[in-house]
Amino acid sequence: MRPEIVHAAPHRGAIAVLLPVYNERGCLAATLRSLCGQGVPFTAVLVDDGSEPPLQVDSIVLDYPVVLLRQPRNGGIERALNAGLEYIAAAGFQYVARVDAGDRCAPTRLARQLRFLEEHPDVYLVGSDVEWRTDDGALAFSVSLPSTHEAIARALHHTVCLLHPTVMFRTSVVSAVGPYSLAYPAAEDYEFFWRIARRFRVANIPETLHTQRFHAGSISVRNRRRQIRTKLRIQLEFFRAAEPMSYVGVLKTLALMAAPYSAVVKVKNALSRAKAA
């Protein structure tokens, strides 16, 4: 299922910002505006995953070029991401940055992550700390993540410590570990990051460079139970008997299965307030 190239502006820069979209509901424009003024040249690669009506983008108001690919029918985020990666690799981009519709990037994000990867040639993927805000701008909660490869590699056993919309990675890593798998619905990023972290060094910049949209109807909330079940499968696949965090991870995921999402949000809110105090 190869995508149609609906719009392809001349490419700019070594970075492709990969953004899959399905039936966008008015959140994309703010995300695209947040990418203006990043301080480094880049090209946005949007993949319309069979939206009805088809996605339309007004790129005139943006200070960067936009490529719009359209899948012939909705095939799920994994296929949309892989279609984007295939285009990005063929076009010769060196780096892939991920963003989701509804999220916002700090004005320094792309420059900060590009500089980090250029200064650390042994690191193949870098994320950042992140916050979640409601549509009225109120902070729902924030997360500070482990920053070093060693800490991330251990934490992956029990938590998702590389957050998908925050990452930038070298395009070459895809040819080494393979694209997103279709076998892990709603947690394709967690399994993808596991494969990368097993072979290459990864990192997080300990700064909040990304804001995710928090609302009760988000895809991640709607798919929560399926996501948790898939996460457990991944943890069992990468389970190491000699690693205590493998046991912790499985127990935490089983506990999350039983906990209502409202309780999880309350705990995260409390932790965010305690950190800010």
Based on the domain organization, do 17 and 58 belong to the same domain?
A: yes
- Range 220-223 contact pairs with CB under 8 angstroms and sequence separation of 24 or more: 220/186, 221/261, 223/185, 223/186
Based on the domain organization, do 141 and 270 belong to the same domain?
A: yes
Based on the domain organization, do 3 and 123 belong to the same domain?
A: no
pLDDT digits (tens, 9 = 90+) for 236-252: 888 889 899 888 988 88
The rounded mean pLDDT for the chain is: 89
pLDDT at 117 over 80: yes
Based on the domain organization, do 268 and 155 belong to the same domain?
A: yes
Q: Give the total number of structural domains in the chain.
A: 2
167 located within any domain: no
Least confident of 10-24, 137-151, 158-172, 258-272: 258-272
Based on the domain organization, do 246 and 263 belong to the same domain?
A: yes
4 located within any domain: yes
Based on the domain organization, do 176 and 92 belong to the same domain?
A: no
Based on the domain organization, do 125 and 222 belong to the same domain?
A: yes
142 located within any domain: yes
Question: In this structure, what CATH number is given to the domain that contains residue 81?
Answer: 3.90.550.10
pLDDT of the residue at 232: 86
Identify the residue with better confidence: 94 or 271: 94
Based on the domain organization, do 90 and 132 belong to the same domain?
A: no
Identify the residue with better confidence: 79 or 230: 79
Query: Domain limits at 75?
Result: 1-102
Among candidate residues 58, 79, 102, the one where a domain is terminated: 102
pLDDT of the residue at 1: 65
26 located within any domain: yes
